Amino acid sequence: MSSNVYQLDENTASKLIRFLSESDSNLPAGAKYRKKIEGHTVTIYNSNKFMVQGSASETLAMKLLGNAGIKVAGSSETKKNVAGKTISYDAFNCIGSDEAGSGDFFGPMTVVASYVSKKNADILKVLGVMDSKNLKDDKIIALAEQIIPIIPHSLLVLDNPKYNDRKAIGWSQVKMKAVLHNQAITNVLKKIDGAPLDYIVIDQFAVQGVYENYALTAIPESEKTRFETKGESKSIAIAASSIIARYAFVKYYDQIIRETGIHITKGAGPKVDLEAAKIIERKGIAYLDSITKKDFKNREKALGIVNKKK
């Protein structure tokens, strides 16, 4: 039996527990969650270590983390890749892909792949393209509108009704992402039509074997494909894709705010529960479902808030 352990912070561990089914009542010493899932033992300790034990522990761990919208480093394959070779991607012609919205109750999931040549990498750096997690929305919008005309890219939007339909037939977030990333990359390859390409770099949300299993179609240019944790900081092509993906997500978010007249918070925290409850009261549960990811616990909590007022 193999085991995989990931060190999470308090907020991330709490987020994962919210997404998992109810814990067993008989917990081992030092644990705050334990459950048998798909024949594996899943444990989260008070130290916020997340451990999966079983025959396919790494695959299940990445699946559970992906379903919860959590990205972590630390799988055995990730360590091997990092230890084996560090690539300065910005010195090469690359396609990079990333997504936005997977951890947000409100709004769609957006996935972007972008082609950045060595020449355009220098231009993007001058414009200030960087890890979008460090950028506020107004900067994201300004940057995206500058780079969209410059770089060949493909933006795919999985809106909430389609997301919810796929969840209803058993798709995990990891599968959705794999399918969308693969399609976006394929679209960009068609757009660049034989332009020089050294690497395809995917911001890693699952190990390569899991990605290949879920993608439905073969990985294009697989010999050139690399998976990188914290990819935005390693490849400007991923950083550019992240900015465009977040730009599209912010635009959809702003549209929801205009439609509802309610300021909504990104993420899936307690404020989101209250905002969702207000939307149910004003527009009904069917409308809420049309603008949210129904599998998130926020839906159940918002309904609880509304029912308490009756």
E strand spans, 248-301: none
> What order of strands is seen across the sheet that includes strand 49-54?
2-7, 49-54, 40-45, 31-37
**Cα(216)–Cα(179) distance, integer angstroms:** 6
Q: Is 54 exposed, middle or buried, given 0-12, 13-18 or 19+ CB atoms closer than 10 A? A: buried
CA distance 282 to 90: 49
Contact 305, 296 (CB under 8 A): no
* Closest C-alpha to 62, from 77, 47, 48, 84: 77
Asked if 71 contacts 173 with a C-beta cutoff of 8 angstroms, the reply is no
Nearest to 127, CA basis, from 145, 114, 111 = 145
Residues linked to residue 37 through DSSP beta bridges, in sequence order: 40
- Per-residue b or e along 232-253, where b marks 16 or more CB atoms closer than 10 Å to that residue's CB: bebbbbbbbbbbbbbbbbbebb
Q: Is 98 annotated as belonging to a binding site? A: yes
- For residue 211, the number of C-alpha atoms closer than 13 Å in the C-beta half-sphere is 22
The answer to whether 203 touches 232, Cβ cutoff 8 Å, is yes
Determine contact, residues 296/163, Cβ cutoff 8 Å: no
- Which residues are documented as binding site? 98-99, 203
- Which residues are documented as binding site for a divalent metal cation? 98-99, 203
